[in-house]
């Protein structure tokens, strides 16, 4: 990918989380990774500075990954997996098109891995001239069966973008949410309007995810939590929609809405830049 397009993709990705100004070059150097064991056959690979997550289900016929970070993180992901399995990565599921979740695809594919995403996410990758286009799309649901284990993939509606999927590992009672749910300081809810995101529909989409049967939740960014935490997040998305709808109806200024988003929902400069106009427009 040429540099300009790459920077365009990074520009989108930067919006996924709160990024200190000093890290404006995010994606240009490898993140420091750490391995979190969730269960005997299920691991999460965290980043250091910006805690983006790759989830790995280990089977005796190969590994299923959810999200593969930036291309520059590929070798470190593979090295980390080698500490827990000799199996190759058979599939990587991209929860959405952003480069910090799909950037490793091309290198994975070169190693024989098949990439899977929603049809919408693939279309956005095509439009953005991103590398590593998914080999398989699902609409609205699909499943991978490998080594007696299952990864169920669900598109449940719009949220962070219009193409986010969640991945349920039924045997593990665990769900990987991508950026439909980001958890913790520095990872406020970001609505990527240019990527088809919607604050209004977000609550119903999370509600659909909550209907699935699981206990453990892997967020797109942040620490692994329990289903009750996702319920709280669902409530906060509802609160956001209600509060901002009220403010817009009361003809509050753009500055007032911005202040609310910063104070109540942890938005920082680039969240405001990326999503404030879209949010006000959507709540009208």
Q: What does the binding site for Zn ion look like in residue numbers (CB under 5 A)?
A: 16, 98, 179
Q: Is the CB of residue 89 less than 8 Å from the CB of residue 74?
A: no
CB of 15 to Zn ion, least distance (A): 7
CB of 100 to Zn ion, least distance (A): 7
Nearer of residues 98 and 124 to Zn ion, judged by Cβ: 98
Nearer of residues 16 and 133 to Zn ion, judged by Cβ: 16
CB of 20 to Zn ion, least distance (A): 18
CB of 128 to Zn ion, least distance (A): 13
Nearer of residues 179 and 282 to Zn ion, judged by Cβ: 179
Nearer of residues 84 and 194 to Zn ion, judged by Cβ: 194
CB of 96 to Zn ion, least distance (A): 6
> In Å, what is the CA distance from 34 to each residue of 49, 58, 147, 222, 236?
11, 17, 26, 12, 29
CB of 17 to Zn ion, least distance (A): 8
Nearer of residues 46 and 98 to Zn ion, judged by Cβ: 98
CA dist 91 and 47 (Å) reads 21
Nearer of residues 133 and 146 to Zn ion, judged by Cβ: 133
3-state SS of the chain is CCHHHHHHHHHHHHHHCCCCHHHCCCCCCCCCEEEEEEECCEEEEEECCCCEEEEEEEECCEEEEECCCCHHHHHHHHHHHHCCCCCCEEEEECCCCCHHHHCCHHHHHHCCCEEEEEHHHHHHHHHCCCCCCCCEEECCEEEEEECCEEEEEEECCCCCCCCCEEEEEHHHCEEECHHHCCCCCCCCCCCCHHHCCCHHHHHHHHHHHHCCCCCEEECCECCCEEHHHHHHHHHHHHHHHHHHHHHHHCCCCHHHHHHHHHHHHCCCHHHHHHHHHHHHHHHC
Two structure tokens written together for 91: 């599939």
CB of 52 to Zn ion, least distance (A): 9
């Amino acid at each position: 990918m040429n540099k300009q397009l790459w920077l365009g993709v990074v520009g989108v990705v930067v919006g996924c989380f709160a990024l200190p100004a000093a890290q404006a070059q995010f994606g240009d150097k490898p993140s420091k990774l750490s391995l979190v064991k969730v269960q005997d056959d299920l691991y999460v690979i965290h980043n250091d500075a910006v805690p983006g997550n790759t989830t790995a289900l280990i089977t005796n016929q190969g590994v299923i990954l959810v999200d593969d970070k930036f291309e520059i993180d590929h070798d470190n992901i593979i090295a980390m997996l080698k500490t827990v399995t000799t199996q190759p990565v058979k599939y990587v599921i991209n929860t959405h098109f952003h480069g910090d979740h799909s950037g490793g695809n091309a290198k994975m594919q070169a190693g024989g891995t098949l990439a899977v995403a929603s049809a919408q996410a693939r279309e956005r990758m095509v439009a953005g001239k991103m590398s590593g286009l998914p080999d398989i799309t699902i609409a609205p649901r699909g499943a991978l069966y490998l080594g007696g284990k299952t990864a169920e993939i669900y598109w449940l509606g719009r949220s962070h973008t219009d193409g986010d999927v969640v991945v349920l590992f039924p045997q593990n009672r665990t769900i990987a949410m991508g950026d439909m749910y980001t958890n913790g300081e520095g990872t406020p809810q970001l609505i990527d309007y240019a990527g088809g995101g919607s604050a209004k529909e977000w609550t119903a989409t999370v509600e659909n995810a909550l209907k699935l049967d699981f206990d453990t939740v892997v967020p797109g960014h942040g620490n692994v939590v329990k289903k009750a935490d996702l319920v709280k997040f669902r409530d906060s998305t509802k609160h956001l929609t209600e509060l901002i709808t009220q403010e817009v109806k009361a003809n509050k200024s753009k500055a007032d809405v911005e202040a609310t988003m910063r104070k109540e929902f942890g938005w920082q400069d680039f969240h405001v830049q990326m999503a404030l106009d879209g949010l006000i427009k959507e709540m009208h």
